[in-house]
Copies of this chain bind each other. A is one copy, B any other.
């Protein structure tokens, strides 16, 4: 067992506690207790509770960008549909392995309603998906493998489906997510 840095320890513990109890009901006392250190020791590493919340936010946002899951350079005319389906399912799989993900994101969304900085970052991520999907579909159309006319609308639909799957998974719904994704992608590829 390698000793991780205190900084990383704090973020890991805070992530779990924030998910379980929420930002507001997780006090610095709770975090320090769980870390087996005292409150002032915790304050030595982070100047405030908000700075922990922010550090966590930045770390999470790095790992959920469109480019993290979809690599446009790996797409060809031959593998297009399969690759598209697989890359989307990677997101689903990632979320399903992190039981706290949805709870945490729900709270950052709430923060976003009150502080534009959070909202803007989250909006940028979702816009990354939308424009990413659009570029991918444009490439597909140029290969004559995508037949939908309205690529922009298709990209919006895909973004909403991806976001919706995250939400529903996090809420414990046992939907047939794989099938929903596959069918949505196939319908768009096939065109009207």
Contacts and interface: CB of A to CB of B under 8 A. Distances in A.
Given A106-B109, A171-B123, A160 B187 contact: no
Nearest to A112: B171
Interface string A164-192: 11011001110110011001100100000
B106 A113 contact: yes
Interface of A: 19-22, 24-25, 102-103, 106-107, 109-110, 112-114, 119, 122-123, 126, 150, 152-153, 156-157, 160-161, 163-165, 167-168, 171-173, 175-176, 179-180, 183-184, 187
Contacts of A110: 22, 103, 106-107, 110
A184 B157 CA distance: 9
A131 to B, nearest CB: 13
Given A24-B25, A173-B126, A179 B153 contact: yes
A132 to B, nearest CB: 16
Contacts of A106: 106, 109-110, 113
A122 B173 CA distance: 11
Contacts of A153: 176, 179-180, 183
A171 B127 CA distance: 12
Contacts of A163: 164, 167-168
A19 B113 CA distance: 9
Contacts of A113: 19, 102-103, 106
A121 B153 CA distance: 33
